[in-house]
Amino acid sequence: MVHIDDVPYRKPFAEMTDADRVYPGDGDIPLDDHFQVLAEIGYEGPVSLELFSNDLWSQDPYQVAKIGFDKCRRWFNWQS
């Protein structure tokens, strides 16, 4: 399973916690490169959106999931 999230690089990695995670594409992790490697190796398994921010957890779960899904779509060839 591949987990997807993002994080802004505002502090050293050693000081980052799960709560620093943001929606994919809203931080500084080079996710385009990450998904390029997955495509190159032929990965077709599950992908899990991981958001551990208390701010996001306090919001409507449906809206958080919908926003997360919409932000992740660019890395997948999903048919709508």
Domain count, the chain: 1
Q: Would residue 38 count as lying in a domain?
A: yes
CB 26 within 8 A of CB 45: no
Tens of pLDDT, residue by residue over 43-68, are 989 999 999 888 898 999 999 999 99
Cα 44 from chain centroid (whole Å): 17
Q: Tell me the pTM.
A: 0.83
Q: Which domain holds residue 67?
A: 2-7+16-75
For the chain, the C-alpha Rg in angstroms (whole number) is 13
Q: Cα separation of 53 and 74, whole Å?
A: 22
Tens of pLDDT, residue by residue over 6-46, are 999 999 989 999 999 999 999 999 999 999 999 899 998 99
Q: Would residue 80 count as lying in a domain?
A: no
Q: Would residue 55 count as lying in a domain?
A: yes
